Structure 1
């Protein structure tokens, strides 16, 4: 992989695991990497299968799911550009990872990637920092599920999506518009609600003029201050 054509112009380089690396270190990483495209619905990793790959999400969105005892699929997290996919030093994948939109990843075979981590302490520390950040987000999600009302959960979720998704604005201060990476049923799973409750809360926000729903998964935040108030 030629660094001049890939790493140098990577849109997530400064926000991803690679952000701490100098050009020489990036060159070493680029030698073991390759880009892969996944269409919406494609599975990148299967829970319980050997963990042979990991990588950075460059574009698109992914969901992480686990299977419940009765065989249902439970969405436990969503991943966005600059997030790291997979778990080094784990023999098996803990979750199934699926593309919820057409996505591109910079993929690394796990064993060579682990060897590279051992030789580059800055990258190892950056990966550890990302892991702690994900842990903090999981703990915050647990608090959300335990303490917040349905209205607060949905409002908070939309704000989080606006912070992490690819947002477009007509003007620098204009309304933020973005596509949700998961459907309403998956949002309900993530927030511990029913799909009817999620739909009802979105409709309430729309009728209040706080958001608009121009498409099935498209959200426009028309009044961010009010949405933050509703998030608690």
Structure 2
């Protein structure tokens, strides 16, 4: 009944593909109305930059479609991709209008955006929105700690497999939408091997060699352009050095 009321009152929010996983996931009709009044959809082409390091963000918001990268740029021009923004992820942080990262669109990206000051005011009067955003920030911190383990202790093969497990987990949240109609055993990469190498702090040659090795060993199989079939998710977890609960295998 509540879903029917929402669909009638706020049809665009009801149809949103990330409604159940975005920052508005717990918001009731009143908070959604405030968000509806303040939001503006923004489109970014693949290869474009959404934000530069130190730049004042005019808008923050939720990724609705597409994939974006977070990178740190050093003074000598070297850069390192340190994170990805998937559908449902939030661009920006509460109380901070600048970003230390370069944010680039890997694919075409659609953002459900809000002017920074308007969103800050919304947080002050929308407790469910504020609570959900704090949860998102905590999830980001936990993910960063997991990534420290991957970069510091895992082999190249384990890094590639952990990356595939990570993609499978993120994409599983969107299986019910028409934007992600793929089978649970299919992983859509969306990134070039050069981008994957940058993300995992590996060389392109190492990434290519490991993908070939995984295919030979039957851990993965090609399933089309930028898609991989995973015959056994358990085998992928073992190759990543993880167990079924996401922990490291002893």
TM norm structure 2: 0.85
CA change 1:30–1:201 in 2 (3 A) is same
Cross-structure match for 1:181: 190
- Once the 2 structures are TM-superposed, how far is the Cα of residue 4 of structure 1 from its aligned partner? 2.4
Corresponding residue SS for 2:12: coil
Which secondary structure does the structure 2 equivalent of 1:11 belong to?
coil
Aligned equivalent of 1:206: 215
Residue 126 of structure 2: which of 116, 120, 127 is its match? Answer: 120
Q: How does 1:80-229 map to 2 (within 5 A)?
A: 80-165=86-171, 166=180, 168-169=182-183, 176-215=185-224, 217-229=226-238
1:16 positional shift: 0.8
**Number of aligned residues:** 226
CA distance in 1, matches of 2:105, 2:198: 17
How many angstroms apart in 1 are the aligned matches of 2:217 and 2:10? 49
147-156 or 207-216, which deviates more: 207-216
Match in the other structure for 2:55: 49
Whole-Å separation in 2 of the counterparts to 1:64 and 1:92 = 14
Q: Which residue of 2 aligns with 1:172?
A: none
Provide the C-alpha distance between the structure 2 equivalents of 1:91 and 1:223, rounded to a whole number of angstroms.
44
1:13 aligns with 2:19: yes
How far is 1:181 from its partner?
A: 3.1
Any idea what the Cα deviations from partners look like across 1:126-151, whole Å, max 9, x if unmatched? Answer: 11110010010001000111111111
Cα pair 1:46 1:97 within 8 Å, conserved: yes
In the superposition, the TM-score normalised over structure 1's length comes to 0.91
Q: Take 1:69 and 1:7, find their aligned partners in 2: how far apart are those partners?
A: 42
Q: Residue 58 and residue 158 in structure 1: after superposition, are their counterparts in 2 closer, same or farther (change >3 A)?
A: same
In structure 2, C-alpha distance between the alignment counterparts of 1:101 and 1:3, rounded to whole Å? 32
Unmatched segments (≥5 aa) in structure 1? 170-174
Deviations 1:4-49 (A, max 9, x none): 2311211111111001100111001111101122221121112111
Greater than 6 Å deviation, 4+ residue runs = none
SS of the aligned residue for 2:21 comes to coil
Give me the whole-angstrom Cα distance separating, in 2, the residues matched to 1:180 and 1:24.
38
Question: Matched residue of 2:15: which SS?
Answer: coil
C-alpha distance after superposition, 1:98-155 (max 9, x if no partner):
1111221101000000000011122111111100100100010001111111111111
